[in-house]
């Protein structure tokens, strides 16, 4: 078990190096020069641009740049932004807390509401409540998130005055409630559907009949036997979902004025702040890797037949 | 079951660890006082994070400029009609437009208490012009004698001197500026924020200064929470004409204009500079008296790349024809939601020297357009492209302009989309524009000169279409050599008339801001380059 985890953690190193290198190369391949772009339509002084690039180390060959970048990252130095001259670690630390807050909030909502709805519907397949759930989730999946977002903002903030429309300078939980629900709505629909199908299918399984025949209480049959076996696909989905939530949600962030990671990457891409993009994406890659490790470990918890050595 | 148990434990530990880092990260997420945390008497405006540190000579984008202009006061400023208003200067005089004598108002102080003297200006300009300091706006000082010593041309150039010989202090409040040659409109250039004075503290540590600037302006710096907020406080001791009529300003960063607009509606934000396309159709009814709609000195045009095979030896008549094939009236009304006004010349109406050109070149007339193009020998390949960047909301009007040209003349017209502004600029710099590119120019100073010399002179660096015409160059030169400002403006007006015959670009429309303010503030006015005059805003 411990060895398995260690091996998985070690495997992250090549993935980490590979993905950062790929992103580094991609940023380099993009047309558009970040230092030149600073001048906009104004006149440009080529000698000055060259001097700035030399100072930032952008005039070196790409692989040299990469090696020195990785070397610095291992010492905890993510580099400096081209335009603002701020340390990138500081820029990332500014953006991450609010994204994590939003992601965890949304994730909790997805897990609790999604699984609950799925179980309620799955236990009585083809009943009215099951059909109702399928209809509702279909709607959530079909409507794009900016529509959900603006509609929620309009209804809950401006018509009913329940929550503030935007997230302010110091994000508070009640401000985050609406964005988290909007962000959660799509994944919630998937989780509910996955759970519902899985539960409905397992209801007819042999072990269920055995458990019922043994005279076990219904709560235990559903809560332990049925749930454990039905949650494996759901957990797989949740694992990748937390990764994408942590990667920032540019549309939701934009609607509710959340200055998180999604907006940071978008802005950095537009300005060709290569080091910033690589830094953020590196963190996202690590989050994905950790999430998938947790998922794999959870399989063993849910299904004792799965063992890791 | 042993394996399963320890798996449970490990998974649990990782989850706890992740959660712990998450909690540690949002300490500031608690329930501190909300209500946007604005001190009484302050006004707020949606001005996002400046791209660079707050140094006057290194700021050329609108967000940073807003903050710089609140913290620093240069020698002079402009009123809404583009007339000069002396701010820090008592007087600026010249006899030959070559040597300028500046007298400063007495008793001015920086926010740290040190006096504003002639030397504060001279040192600041010398430092900013120096190539070793790599300031973005260094070229603004190029008229001053001795500029090529501190900022030599060529690759790997290093400064040969620390000071420009043209700057001389006479006494504490008087100094002279000697230029390389006479520039009749030099005084107008002095209104740009780059010409601000800098205190001694700046030269000790420019980097730290950029995070915590000390100016001489109507507001003093309070705090900068990166990507969120910049706060400045009214300077009680300020004696300039633009003394703040409010207690301070919060420049707030918003993720989108839509979010900013929502905050204006809900009272969390006082002013919004530009309403997004989503809310444009209804902002006037939402904001009532608070809606601000005003034209400002900026022109959008489509510029032919004269180095292409297509336009190398083009007859200007073809350009005139294409210009007449564009239905500016309808496009500004429909596609652009009345946010632009059809252009009638190469200069916007807000600058001095804008004139009625008495020409039909900018009017929509399909028959005349077809005729002119035919007379000019037609469009090579019968197909044109308009290059634009997709991250700036240009796609809609480019499509409409193309549609208009196609319908009126039968010339095939397509948009040439570049994913973002950086890519768009690169194609322009490297002479890779296929046919036309989208050009936009906002006034640096409110003179017609600024919209011609900088864009269509053969050696002008912003002349990305590489337009080059001896007659035009000659006329610009004549304007530059004029004895007085009035004469210079007049000569440039003559040049503009020739531009209509040469068509270095096809002007489309002038800009307008469509912003607004909430119920808590009043007296929101717009200056000539489309910025709100924050000092004038009062709290109700």
pLDDT digits (tens, 9 = 90+) for A105-121: 999 999 999 999 999 99
Find the mean pLDDT for residues A16-22. 88
Name A292's Cβ contacts closer than 8 Å, sequence gap at least 6: A239, A240, A243
Query: Is the pLDDT confidence value at B25 over 50?
Result: no
pLDDT of residue B22: 40
Mutate to test the interface with B, among A2, A51, A175, A271 (most CBs of B within 10 A): A51
Report DSSP state, residue B392.
G
Average pLDDT, chain B: 89
CB contact under 8 A, A257 and B22: no
> How distant is the Cα of B210 from the closest Cα of chain A, in angstroms?
10
* Burial of residue B368, with CB atoms counted within 10 A of its CB: 0-12 exposed, 13-18 middle, 19 or more buried: middle
pLDDT of residue A43: 67
The helix, strand and coil proportions of chain B, stated in percent and rounded to the nearest 5, come to 35, 20, 40
Query: In this predicted model, which residue has the larger pLDDT, B72 or A76?
Result: B72
Find the mean pLDDT for residues A8-24. 88
pLDDT of residue B16: 46
Quick one: what percent of chain B has pLDDT higher than 90? 74
Instruction: List the structure tokens of B227.
Output: 């990507």
Options 3.40.50.150, 3.40.190.10, 3.40.50.10470, 3.40.50.410; CATH for B43-252 is 3.40.190.10
Distance separating alpha carbons of residues A59 and A21, to the nearest angstrom: 18
Name B378's Cβ contacts closer than 8 Å, sequence gap at least 6: B318
pLDDT of residue B15: 47
Only one residue has tokens 């394996």, namely B3
Query: Is the pLDDT confidence value at A224 over 50?
Result: yes
Which H or E run contains B91?
strand B89-94
The residue length of chain A stands at 309
Model confidence pLDDT, tens digit, residues B210-222: 999 999 999 999 9
B446 forms bridges with which residues in the sheet? Answer: none
pLDDT of residue B402: 95
CB contact under 8 A, A304 and B4: yes
Which chain A residue has its CA at the smallest distance from B158's CA? A47
> How distant is the Cα of A285 from the closest Cα of chain B, in angstroms?
15
pLDDT class of B23 with cuts at 50, 70, 90: very low
Q: How far is CA B454 from CA B444, B460, B462, B464, in A?
A: 10, 5, 6, 10
> How distant is the Cα of B300 from the closest Cα of chain A, in angstroms?
12
> How distant is the Cα of A82 from the closest Cα of chain B, in angstroms?
9
pLDDT of residue B408: 94
DSSP letter string, B18-61: HHHHHHHHTGGGS----GGGPPTTEEEEE----SS-S-GGG--S
pLDDT of residue B452: 94
Query: Is the pLDDT confidence value at B342 over 70?
Result: yes
Q: Which value does ipTM take for this structure?
A: 0.81
Mutate to test the interface with B, among A166, A269, A283, A287 (most CBs of B within 10 A): A166
Contacts of B265 in chain A (CB under 8 A): 158, 165
Query: CA dihedral in degrees (A56, A62, A66, A67; nearest 10)?
Result: -100
Options 1.10.510.10, 3.30.70.580, 1.25.40.10, 1.10.3720.10; CATH for A94-307 is 1.10.3720.10
> How distant is the Cα of B428 from the closest Cα of chain A, in angstroms?
10
CB contact under 8 A, A272 and B422: yes
> How distant is the Cα of A43 from the closest Cα of chain B, in angstroms?
5
CATH 3.40.190.10 occupies which residues in chain B?
A: 43-252
Option in A39, A91, A97 nearest B136 (CB): A39
Contacts of B263 in chain A (CB under 8 A): 165-166, 257
> How distant is the Cα of B3 from the closest Cα of chain A, in angstroms?
6
Contacts of B50 in chain A (CB under 8 A): 84
pLDDT of residue A58: 85
Which chain A residue has its CA at the smallest distance from B16's CA? A294
Range name among A45-49, B340-344, B355-359, B512-516 with the lowest pLDDT average: A45-49
Which chain A residue has its CA at the smallest distance from B461's CA? A43
pLDDT of residue B108: 95
Find the mean pLDDT for residues A195-203. 92
Q: Which CATH architecture has domain B295-513?
A: Roll (3.10)
pLDDT of residue A108: 94
Give the number of other CB atoms < 10 A from CB of residue B106: 11
Q: What are the sequence ranges of the domains in chain A? A: 2-74, 94-307
Model confidence pLDDT, tens digit, residues B181-229: 999 999 999 999 999 999 999 999 999 999 999 999 999 999 999 988 9
Query: Is the pLDDT confidence value at A52 over 70?
Result: yes
Q: Are B13 and B190 in contact (CB under 8 A)?
A: no
Model confidence pLDDT, tens digit, residues B33-80: 344 578 999 999 999 899 889 999 998 888 999 999 999 999 999 988
CB contact under 8 A, B441 and A41: yes
Contacts of B154 in chain A (CB under 8 A): 47
CB contact under 8 A, A32 and B422: yes
Contacts of B14 in chain A (CB under 8 A): 290, 293-294, 297
CA-nearest of B295, B298, B294 to B451 is: B298
pTM score above 0.80:
yes
Average pLDDT, chain A: 87
pLDDT of residue B82: 83
CB contact under 8 A, B32 and A37: no
CB contact under 8 A, B439 and A308: no
Using N-to-C axis directions, what is the helix angle for A274-302 and B2-25, rounded to 10°?
A: 150
Query: Is the pLDDT confidence value at B299 over 70?
Result: yes
Instruction: Count contacts between A and B (CB, < 8 Å).
Output: 217
pLDDT of residue B26: 38
Q: Are A98 and B27 in contact (CB under 8 A)?
A: no
pLDDT of residue A309: 58
Q: Are B308 and B314 in contact (CB under 8 A)?
A: no
CB contact under 8 A, B7 and A297: yes
Distance separating alpha carbons of residues B476 and B496, to the nearest angstrom: 10
Distance separating alpha carbons of residues B479 and A63, to the nearest angstrom: 52
Model confidence pLDDT, tens digit, residues B417-444: 988 888 888 888 888 999 999 998 989 8
Find the mean pLDDT for residues A211-232. 89
Option in B11, B60, B425 nearest A297 (CB): B11
Mutate to test the interface with A, among B26, B250, B268 (most CBs of A within 10 A): B26
> How distant is the Cα of A12 from the closest Cα of chain B, in angstroms?
15
Which chain B residue has its CA at the smallest distance from A154's CA? B262
Which chain B residue has its CA at the smallest distance from A286's CA? B18
Burial B348-364 (b: 16+ CB within 10 A, else e): bebbbbbbebeeebbbb
Option in B137, B255, B426 nearest A33 (CB): B426
Query: Is the pLDDT confidence value at B461 over 80?
Result: no
């Amino acid at each position: 078990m411990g060895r398995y985890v260690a091996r998985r953690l070690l495997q992250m190193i090549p993935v980490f190096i590979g993905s950062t290198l790929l992103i580094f190369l991609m940023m380099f391949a993009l047309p558009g020069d970040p230092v030149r772009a600073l001048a906009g339509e104004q006149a440009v002084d080529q000698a000055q641009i060259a001097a700035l690039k030399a100072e930032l180390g952008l005039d070196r060959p790409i692989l040299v740049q990469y090696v020195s970048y990785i070397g610095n990252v291992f010492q905890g130095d993510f580099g400096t932004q081209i335009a603002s001259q701020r340390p990138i670690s500081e820029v990332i630390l500014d953006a991450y807390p609010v994204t994590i807050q939003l992601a965890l909030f949304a994730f909790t909502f997805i897990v609790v509401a999604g699984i609950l709805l799925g179980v309620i519907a799955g236990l009585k397949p083809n009943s009215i409540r099951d059909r109702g759930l399928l209809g509702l989730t279909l709607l959530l999946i079909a409507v794009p998130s900016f529509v959900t977002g603006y509609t929620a903002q309009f209804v809950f903030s401006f018509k009913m005055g329940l929550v503030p429309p935007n997230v302010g300078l110091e994000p508070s939980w009640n401000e985050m409630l609406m964005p988290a629900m909007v962000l959660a709505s799509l994944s919630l629909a998937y989780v509910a559907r996955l759970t519902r199908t899985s539960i409905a299918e397992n209801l007819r399984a042999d072990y269920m009949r055995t458990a019922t025949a043994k005279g076990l209480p219904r709560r235990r049959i559903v809560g332990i036997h049925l749930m454990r076996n039905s949650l494996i696909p759901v957990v797989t989905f949740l694992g990748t979902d937390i990764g994408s939530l942590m990667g920032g949600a540019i549309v939701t962030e934009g609607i509710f004025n959340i200055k998180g990671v999604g907006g940071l990457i978008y802005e950095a891409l537009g300005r060709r702040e290569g080091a910033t993009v690589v830094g953020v994406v590196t963190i996202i890659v690590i989050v994905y890797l950790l999430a998938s490790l947790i998922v794999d470990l959870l399989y063993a918890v849910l299904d004792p037949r799965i063992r890791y050595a | 079951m042993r394996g399963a148990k320890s798996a449970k434990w490990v998974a649990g530990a990782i989850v706890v660890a992740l959660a712990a880092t998450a909690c540690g990260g949002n300490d500031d997420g608690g329930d501190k006082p909300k209500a946007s945390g604005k001190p009484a008497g302050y006004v707020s405006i949606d001005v996002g994070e400046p791209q660079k540190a707050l140094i006057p000579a290194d700021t050329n984008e609108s967000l940073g400029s807003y903050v710089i202009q609140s913290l620093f006061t240069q020698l002079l400023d402009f009123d809404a009609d583009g007339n000069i208003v002396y701010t820090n200067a008592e007087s600026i005089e010249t006899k030959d437009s070559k040597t300028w004598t500046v007298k400063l108002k007495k008793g001015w102080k920086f926010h740290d208490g040190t006096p504003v003297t002639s030397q504060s200006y001279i040192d600041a300009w010398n430092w900013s012009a120096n190539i070793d300091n790599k300031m973005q706006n260094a070229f603004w000082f190029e008229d001053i004698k001795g500029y090529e010593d501190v900022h030599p041309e060529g690759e790997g150039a290093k400064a040969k001197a620390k000071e420009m010989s043209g700057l001389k202090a006479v006494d504490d409040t008087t100094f002279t500026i000697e230029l390389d040659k006479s520039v009749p409109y030099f005084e107008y250039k002095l209104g740009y924020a780059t010409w601000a004075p800098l205190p001694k503290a700046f030269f000790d540590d420019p980097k730290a200064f950029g995070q915590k600037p000390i100016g001489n302006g109507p507001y003093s710096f309070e705090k900068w929470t990166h990507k969120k907020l910049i706060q400045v406080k009214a300077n009680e001791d300020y004696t300039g004409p633009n003394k703040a009529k409010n207690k301070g300003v919060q420049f707030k960063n918003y993720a989108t204009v839509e979010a900013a607009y929502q905050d204006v509606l809900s009272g969390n934000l006082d002013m919004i500079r530009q309403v997004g396309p989503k809310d444009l159709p209804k902002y006037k009814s939402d904001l009532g008296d608070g809606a601000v709609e005003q034209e400002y000195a900026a022109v959008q045009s489509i510029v032919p790349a004269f180095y292409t095979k297509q336009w190398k030896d083009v007859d200007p008549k073809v350009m005139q024809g294409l210009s007449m094939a564009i239905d500016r009236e309808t496009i500004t009304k429909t596609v652009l939601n009345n946010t632009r006004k059809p252009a009638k010349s190469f200069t916007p109406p807000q600058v001095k020297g804008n004139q009625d050109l008495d020409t039909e070149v900018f009017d929509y007339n399909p028959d005349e357009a077809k005729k002119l193009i035919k007379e000019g020998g037609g469009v090579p390949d019968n197909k044109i492209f308009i290059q634009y960047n997709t991250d700036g909301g240009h796609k809609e009007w480019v499509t409409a302009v193309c549609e208009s040209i196609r319908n009126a003349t039968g010339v095939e017209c397509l948009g040439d989309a570049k994913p973002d502004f950086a890519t768009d600029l690169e194609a322009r710099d490297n002479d890779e524009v296929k046919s036309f590119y989208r050009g936009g120019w906002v006034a640096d100073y409110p003179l017609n000169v600024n919209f011609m010399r900088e864009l269509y002179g053969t050696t002008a660096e912003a002349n990305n279409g590489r337009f080059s015409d001896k007659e035009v160059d000659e006329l610009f030169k004549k304007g530059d050599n004029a004895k007085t400002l009035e004469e210079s403006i007049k000569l440039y007006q003559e040049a503009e008339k020739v531009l209509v015959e040469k068509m270095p670009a096809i002007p489309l429309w002038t800009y307008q801001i469509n912003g607004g303010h909430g119920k808590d503030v009043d007296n929101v006015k717009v200056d000539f380059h489309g910025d709100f005059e924050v000092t004038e805003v009062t709290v109700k």
